[in-house]
Every structure is written in C-alpha cells, then in structure tokens.
Amino acid sequence: MSYGKTFEAWRKATGTVWPAYVDHAFVRGLGDGSLPRQAFLHYLRQDYVFLIHFARAWALAVTKSDTVEEMRLAAGTVNALINNEIALHVEICAGAGIGEMELFATEERPENLAYTRYVLDAGHSGDLLDLLAALAPCVMGYGEIGANLAISKTSDAFSDWIDTYSAEPYQQVCRDVGTLIDSVAHRRLGSDPNGSPRWRGLCRRFTTATRLEVGFWDMCLK
Amino acid sequence: MSYGKTFEAWRKATGTVWPAYVDHAFVRGLGDGSLPRQAFLHYLRQDYVFLIHFARAWALAVTKSDTVEEMRLAAGTVNALINNEIALHVEICAGAGIGEMELFATEERPENLAYTRYVLDAGHSGDLLDLLAALAPCVMGYGEIGANLAISKTSDAFSDWIDTYSAEPYQQVCRDVGTLIDSVAHRRLGSDPNGSPRWRGLCRRFTTATRLEVGFWDMCLK
Amino acid sequence: MSYGKTFEAWRKATGTVWPAYVDHAFVRGLGDGSLPRQAFLHYLRQDYVFLIHFARAWALAVTKSDTVEEMRLAAGTVNALINNEIALHVEICAGAGIGEMELFATEERPENLAYTRYVLDAGHSGDLLDLLAALAPCVMGYGEIGANLAISKTSDAFSDWIDTYSAEPYQQVCRDVGTLIDSVAHRRLGSDPNGSPRWRGLCRRFTTATRLEVGFWDMCLK
Amino acid sequence: MSYGKTFEAWRKATGTVWPAYVDHAFVRGLGDGSLPRQAFLHYLRQDYVFLIHFARAWALAVTKSDTVEEMRLAAGTVNALINNEIALHVEICAGAGIGEMELFATEERPENLAYTRYVLDAGHSGDLLDLLAALAPCVMGYGEIGANLAISKTSDAFSDWIDTYSAEPYQQVCRDVGTLIDSVAHRRLGSDPNGSPRWRGLCRRFTTATRLEVGFWDMCLK
C-alpha cells in the first residue's frame, strides 16, 4: 500500500498526529466491534454532511486545475463522492430507519464544519497544491484505515464499512489521488519539493487537516 | 422543445440579442455547408479551450449548490462536458491531424477568454442563480441551434456537429438544466421570480452572456 | 442602540443563542473584572488570528459587492480591522511582552478556525447577503457587548477593551454595517425580506455564526 | 524608475507586447495632445468600470495573503483605487457633465470585461502570485507611462492624467507593489524564481494581461 511520495513525506511530517488519527479509539471500535451502534449512526449522519462539503472541495479542485488530466481526475472524484461513497451512508442509514432527507437535515457539529470549511478555504486562499494538502488526509487516511482493519479486525460488526474502504476501487482512488498530488507537486515545486520554501507550509496544512480528522473522531465518540 | 419557464423569460428579455446568436452567419454556414473547413477547425480549437473553462464554471456550480440534487446535476454536467462533449472535438480534430496536446495549447482568443471568465466571475461574485444565468445561453443555445439545424439543414457537411446537439442526450441535458434553473429560481426568488428586485440583473447577466456568444461566433468567422 | 431592521430580525430569530453569546461568562468576567489575565491574553492571541481571517472575509465582501457604496463600506471595514482593531490587540499584548510575530504565529484553535472559515464559505457559496448574515454576529455582538458593559461594568480591569467597542467610532461601524445589510437585503430580497424564500436560510446562517461565537468564548475559558 | 526584479523579468519576457502597450497610439495621443476629447471621455468611462473590477481583484488579493504585511498593502491598494484613483475619473467626467451614476451605468465593452475577469480568474484559479502576475501590467504600466509622458509630453491637454500617474504617490504605489511581488515570489518560489517550474506560466499570465491592456487601448480608439 503506497499512495505516493509526497503523501508519504507529508504523513511523516505530522509526527504523532497521523497515528492519533488512524489508530483512534473510534477506529479500533470499528475493528473489534465494540463501537456502540448509536455512535456509528451518529458518525454516519455527520459524515454524510461531511461528504457533501468534501465533494464541494473536490469540485473546487476542478476549477483550480491546470491540465485536462487533473480536471478529469478531480471531476471523477466529485462524482464518486456524490454518487458512490454517499450511497453507502444512505443505504446503511435507511436500514436503520433514517431517510436521506433526514440525513441532509442533520445539524452539522462544529468539529465537522471546522474541517470541511478549512479545506475549502485552503483552496480559495491558495492554489491546487494547497487544496490537495488539505484534501489528502481524509482520502488517504480512510484508505489506510480500511486496509489495516481488513487485516486486523476481530469482528464483522462493521464489515460493510471496512469493505468499502479496503476494497480495490477505493484503494485505486487513493493511488490515483497520490499520483495527482505527486504530479501537481512536481509541476508547481519542481524536482525537489522538500527544498521548496512552500514545503513547510504544505506540511502544516496537511497536519492541521489531520488534526481536524482527530477532532472529528473525538466528536463521534462524545 | 421547451427548456423551462425561467429560461424562456430570460431569452425573451434579450430582445434582438438571442436571434443574433442562434441565427448567426456561422450557424447558417453549418446548416447549408457553406462554412469553410478552416473556419470550422478554428472554431473547434477555440471551443475546446472554451469547454475546459466552461467545465470549470459548472464545477463552481457544484461548490455553490444548496441541495444534493443540485450538486448531482451540476457534477453530472461537469463530467458530460469533460468526458463527452470535449470528445467530439478531440475526435474531429484528430481526423484533421490536430492532436489533443496541440488542442490544449491553442492560444485563447480574447473573445473566448472574455466569455468564460465572465461566467466564472458571475459565480464568484453572486450566488448559484447568478452563475446559472451566465451558463444558460451556451447550454440552451446549442440545444436550440442543434434542433433547428436538424430540421432546416440543406447539407450534410457538418452533420456530426448537428447530430451531437440535436440528439436526445444533449436535448435532455438542456431540459435538465432548465429544470434546475426553474427550481433554483423558485428556491431563491419565490413563486414570482419576475417580481423580484433581482430579476432585471439576472436578465442583464443572461443578455451579456448571450452577447459574448455572438462575439464568439464573430471571432470564429474572422 | 439600533443596528438596523434586518439585524434586529435575525437576532430575534436566534432565540436563546444570542443571549448565550452576549451574556456569556467570559463577557461577565470582562465587566466585573473577574476574568483571569491569562484567559484575557489567551483570548487576545486567538482573536488576533480571528481578525486576520475576519478581515479576509470582509475583503471577500468587496469582491461580491454590486454598487460602489457597498464596495467603499466593505473596503473601509477591511482597513479598520487590519489597521485599527488589530492595533488594540498588538498594543495590549506588547504590554504583556507578546510581540506581533509571536501573535501571528499563535496556533489557531479549532473553535476559532471553525468560525472564520464558516464565514468565508458563506461568502464563497452564496452571495453578498449570505456573507453578511455570517459576518453580522461578530460585528454587532461586540458593539452590543461594549455598549452594555460600558453601563453595567463594576470594574475597570478591562476598560481598554470595553472602551474600544462602546466608543462612538465602533458604534458607528455597527450602524453602518446595519445600514449596509438593510440595503443589500432590500436590493436582493425586496420590500418584504421576511416573506422571501431565502429568509429562513439567512436566519439559520446568522444563528450558526452566533453559535460559533459562543463556542469561541467557551474556548477562551478552557 | 525601478519597480522590482520580478517585474523587470516579467516585462522583458513579453517581448514586443510590453512596448505595444506603453507606446500605444492612445498613449502618444495623451502626450502630444492629439487624442480627441471624445476618445478620452470614452476611455474614462470604460476605465471607471475597469477600476471597479480591478479593485475587486485587489480585494481578492487580501483574501489570498499569507502575511499581515501583504494584507495591509493589498488592502491599502483597494482603498487607493476606490477612493483616490476613481476620484480623478469622477472629477474629470463631472467637468464634462457626466455624473457618477451615469459613469457606473456605462455599458462595459467586451475588451474591458475580458481584462478584469481574466485577472479575477487568475486569482481564483491560482495563488497570490498568479494573481499578482495578472495585476502587475496595469499598475506598473501606468506608472511607466506616466513617468515617460511627464518627460516627453509636448502638450498640456492631458496633464491632469499625466500628473496623477507620474507623481510621487502613484510611483510609490508601483514601487510598493514591486516589493510585494518580489517578496511573494521569494516566499513561494525561493531564491531562484526563474528556475521554478512555475516561471513560464507566470510570464505567460503577465504577457496575456499585457496583451489585454493593448486590447483596451485599441478599444478606446475605436
């Protein structure tokens, strides 16, 4: 499982923040089945609203692309988010008696709102690379969590969720986004991205977004 | 052929500008086959660049949507533009020995640039409805031109082009966008859109965008 | 003290949220001098970063203005924020041995970040009125708090702060912004704003921003 | 007269486009007094609308700044444009019997619209440096034209205009913007901006904006 050179470097630069995200108590609860069903439904509702705004941020990436290939990949991701990933949430929630209109009306928690609006602002205030640094932790983190849990899980209570993110289609999304990030980094920073004066700022963005992911899990357990 | 109530009202409000667009000499040249092949290739190259930026403007619409349905439709349009409509241009140009990299490198003419950047700014400065008023003339005008030429054409020289825009899939796009506009107008202006203080401004936007379409055809004949 | 018709209606629509903001324990601590100095400095540091992003949101309002008067007022507010209001923070912090570079390097807390990025996104996703509904609670709330505390305070411990917001120049800013909001509401919604289909959404925006203000005070007391 | 290292490099990279702008027939007509008064008033009206949108683009720069100094300079420029530079136009036009409301209602020509919307999109699609590359030709070109004409002019017919742009305050604006560009280039590209993979794209932006300036002068003479 490798999602690209730039992502690896950004992940490493977070220090203890990345592990705090991918090994969060919420994640362990998905793997051993100890997560209360109510917490999972609470998560799904907030995550539904999250995905709406996350899809908006990927659409912003389309408007900030410099090449047709970048546009195609970003536009494909918007579609995957709105039409596939959200479908999982709608389906599971429907099974629990929560309709899509009720999902959409979920009151967005501040921890949720903080994250997506931060990502959107990363795009508006900077360029495509600034935006991608804020988008990456969610995309790739879920890929890593899914792949980890597929191996380590001791319960099938949340296997629908685990299957979605560990399965090939989602892993392919992670690799594609990793390739996109490497290529944009190369195109805007050159052959030695770490040597660019922007490097520290990009690592900071990625770390802040990862920290907001931790805050999101925390909120789901409250 | 009806693309919705709001569109009809906006079209009517342009006075002589709309007819100047849909009955332009360039359009008549497509119908009777008198358009020089060089002018058509010149148009395809500029239109390729146009579609890139027009797709960016539809992606902006995704970021400005208030409901999931709006997002889905806007995201679908981005995809259709990048993956289908552009394909027609790539294919015809390939047949004339012009590759996609050459297409992408086309120097954008000021008349072309003026149009798409105006549409993008309509979105950034206003709300979704302001953006849709600037997007509509291109989407629906091509639908109307395609449908007209399918009936009135006296030559098959440009039947590929005419077929694309007169065929059911594109006509359905026009009807869907018309429905979207009616619904956003209702949601933001209420049951009497013409009575809203924004109405005149929206008609002006639509008319300006239509005028820029006329300028685009003019440029293609230069 | 009246900051305009639209503001009054929005404030009333928040129900108990507005009082939770303007009568917050943090505010009472400013009035009776019981707020620990450390909490006040913590607030000033976070608020410095807040004002940076809040000024960015007012600059966004300049880009979304439809008339020269709106632009002038919004541009004037950007200047007042960057050059005057921030100066108060810089000065008090300097007195406590905290330089501006250190202020600027303050790590932004999630509750802080949530608020300003929400306001910026209100502008990017909507029109000027959507943005103003998210900007209003901070501008006017501080005016109301300042005016209240000037009368009710039982201590002079924080009189610099209270004077800044109760004094005529800041009160004039509140009245000017109130007039701006009334005029934009009239220009975009007509003579019966409450009857507009957008009214509920605007009240919701204002309430969400007010709720984020409450979260900001809470964070300052942690 | 030097407006910074980066500006000098960008100017040189335009080849013949920069001279076509600063030595345009319109400019020569200002210097020798041969420009018809009607053409000058036509210019002032279009330029009034231009400045409105150009000020919006500078406000966008405030929203895209990374440091307080950048914000202060950009915010100061917005103010100078809205409150000083526009005042010259209002005053001269008032002398010719054209009121500000009439000025504001000027129908924007496509060549005018193309320019400002291109600049705004440079900001929205890229980062602050992309935006500055599109803003620079107008700011610095007027400074260079003003300074040149102050020396070479053979008529006093347009000395108000020439004085405005050759005088110290405007020259200082050019130097400040030049310093800003150098500092942003250093902060985002490093110590060898020309060696950055973005360099060619930035030169292209600057050249396109300069070309749109030439189109603006052409339009004024039509």
The alpha carbons of chain B give a radius of gyration, in whole angstroms, of: 17
- Residue B29: its pLDDT value, please? 98
For residues C73 and C83, what is the distance between their CA atoms, to the nearest angstrom?
15
Mean pLDDT of B80-84: 81
CB contact under 8 A, A67 and B104: yes
Within the 150-189 window of chain B, which residues sit less than 8 Å (CB to CB) from chain A?
none
pLDDT-derived band at B1, boundaries 50, 70, 90: low
Whether B213 is catalytic: yes
In eight-state DSSP terms, residue A16 is T
Cβ pair C79:D83 closer than 8 A: no
CB-nearest partner of D82 from C52, C72, C100: C72
Residue type for D190, please? Answer: G
Structure tokens, A202? 């990009």
- Residue whose pair of structure tokens reads 């990625």 in the numeric block: A206
Under an 8 A CB cutoff, do D125 and A64 touch?
yes
Q: Is D36 left (phi over 0), alpha (psi -120 to 50) or beta?
A: beta
Nearest chain D residue to A130, by CA:
D127
Q: What is the mean pLDDT of residues D67-94?
A: 87
Return the half-sphere exposure (C-beta side, CA atoms, 13 A cut-off) of residue C22. 19
Please check whether residue C116 is in contact with residue C55, taking contact to mean a CB–CB distance below 8 angstroms: no
Q: What is the mean pLDDT of residues D198-207?
A: 97
Residue D79 confidence class, pLDDT cut points 50, 70, 90: confident
Q: From chain D, pick out residues whose CB is under 8 angstroms from the CB of A198.
A: 188
Question: Residues A4, A175: contact at Cβ < 8 Å?
Answer: yes
Residues from chain B that touch D124, judged by Cβ atoms under 8 A, are: 120, 124
Length of chain C: 222
Substitution target in A78, A103, A104 with the highest count of B β-carbons within 10 Å is A78
| Nearest CA-CA distance, residue C64 and chain B, Å | 4
pLDDT value of position B79:
85
pLDDT (mean) for A51-62: 96
Integer angstrom CA distances of residue A25 from A29, A216, B192, D158, D186: 6, 12, 53, 73, 43
Q: C82-105: string of b/e by CB count within 10 Å (b at 16+)? A: beebbebbbebbeeeebeeeebee
Interchain CB distance below 8 Å, D104 and C67? yes
**Average pLDDT along chain A:** 94
Q: Which residues contact D214 (CB under 8 A, 6 or more apart)?
A: D17, D20, D21, D24
Q: Which residues contact D181 (CB under 8 A, 6 or more apart)?
A: D4, D6, D7, D129, D132, D136
Least confident span in B43-52, B85-94, D209-218: B85-94
Report the first-to-last Cα separation within chain A, whole angstroms.
32
Q: What is the DSSP track for chain B?
A: ----HHHHHHHHHTTTHHHHHHT-HHHHHHHHS-S-HHHHHHHHHHHHHHHHHHHHHHHHHHHT-SSHHHHHHHHHHHHIIIIIIHHHHHHHHHHTT--HHHHHTPPPPHHHHHHHHHHHHHHHHS-HHHHHHHHHHHHHHHHHHHHHHHHH----TTHHHHHHHHSHHHHHHHHHHHHHHHHHHHHHH-S-GGGSTTHHHHHHHHHHHHHHHHHHHHHHH-
Band (B55; pLDDT cuts 50, 70, 90): very high
Are B172 and B188 in contact by the 8 Å Cβ rule? The answer is no
Please say if the pLDDT value at position B83 is more than 80: no
CB contact under 8 A, D64 and A189: no
pLDDT score at C1: 61
DSSP label at D80? I
Q: Which residue has the tokens 């707020």?
A: C35
Q: What is the mean pLDDT of residues B86-98?
A: 86
Query: Token pair of D23, please?
Result: 């030595």
**C110, A56: Cβ pair inside 8 Å?**
no
Q: What is the pLDDT of residue D43?
A: 95
Does C118 lie at the interface with A, CB-CB under 8 angstroms?
yes
Q: Catalytic annotation on B174?
A: no
Residue D97: how many other CB atoms lie within 10 Å: 8
Per-residue model confidence as pLDDT tens digits over D51-77: 999 999 999 999 999 998 999 999 988
Q: How far apart are CA C10 and CA D54, in angstroms?
A: 33
Nearest-Cα residue of chain A relative to residue D64: A125
In sequence order, what are the residues at sequence separation of 6 or more whose Cβ sits closer than 8 angstroms to the Cβ of residue C21?
C137, C141, C210, C213, C214, C217
Contact partners for chain C, using 3 or more CB pairs closer than 8 A, are: A, B, D
> pTM for the whole thing?
0.97
Report how far residue C206's alpha carbon sits from residue C193's, in angstroms, rounded to the nearest whole number. Answer: 15
Distance from CA of C118 to the nearest CA of A (A): 6
Higher pLDDT, C172 or A96: C172
State which residues of chain C have pLDDT below 70.
1
Is the pLDDT higher at C85 or at D187? Answer: D187
What pLDDT digit, counting tens, does each position of B168-194 carry? 999 999 999 999 999 999 999 999 999
Distance between start and end Cα atoms, chain D: 32
Question: Which of B138, B174, B203, B220 is flagged as catalytic?
Answer: B138
d(Cα B155, Cα B40) in Å, to the nearest integer? 15
Judged by a CB distance cut-off of 8 A, whether residue B56 touches chain D is yes
Q: What is the mean pLDDT of chain B?
A: 94
Q: What is the pLDDT of residue D1?
A: 60
Average pLDDT estimate for B120-127: 98
Are residues C212 and A118, on separate chains, in Cβ contact within 8 Å?
A: no
B75 touches chain A (CB under 8 A): yes
**What are D172-186's pLDDT values in tens digits?**
999 999 999 999 999
Q: Looking at the complex, report in whole angstroms how far the Cα of residue B5 sits from the nearest Cα belonging to chain A.
A: 27
